[in-house]
């Protein structure tokens, strides 16, 4: 598993459906619930083989019920749609923050290619 700076602060902002993670190197990841849900590191989303995994749709209004610590290396995010199987390790959270714009653009491209829309909130 790649290494990443450890979080020094993790803040769940339920009302705005965001998770803000500040890392030891000063980087701050501001991640919305929809982005975290559709990029879940769970086998359900990632799949069991190489590739882009399952295209998750319809999560525009998903919220985060709570976050749970998992040892000293990850958190579990419990979403209000019942999804809770992904473990967001520190490297995964860091990469999701660092690569957010590119990941989101690729997600929108995959939606378009699949003929799926995205409801605006």
The pTM for the full model equals: 0.92
User: CA of 58: how far to CAs of 5, 91, 95, 114, 121, in Å?
Assistant: 32, 26, 23, 13, 11
Is residue 2 very low, low, confident or very high in pLDDT (cuts 50, 70, 90)?
low
For residue 73, is pLDDT > 80?
yes
List, in order of start, the domains of the chain with CATH numbers. 7-113 (3.30.2020.30)
- Compute the mean pLDDT over every residue in the chain, rounded to the nearest whole number: 92
Query: ∠ CA 81-32-87 to the nearest 5 degrees?
Result: 65
């Amino acid at each position: 598993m790649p290494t990443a700076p450890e979080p020094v602060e993790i803040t769940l902002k339920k009302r705005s459906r965001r998770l803000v993670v500040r890392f030891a190197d000063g980087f701050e990841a501001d991640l919305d619930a929809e982005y975290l849900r559709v990029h879940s590191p769970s086998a359900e989303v990632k799949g069991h083989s190489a590739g882009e995994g399952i295209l998750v749709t319809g999560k525009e209004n998903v919220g985060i019920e709570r976050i749970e610590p998992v040892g000293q290396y990850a958190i579990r995010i419990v979403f209000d749609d019942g999804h809770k199987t992904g473990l967001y390790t520190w490297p995964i959270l860091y990469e999701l923050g660092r690569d957010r714009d590119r990941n989101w653009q690729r997600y929108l491209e995959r939606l378009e290619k699949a003929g799926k829309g995205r409801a605006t909130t």
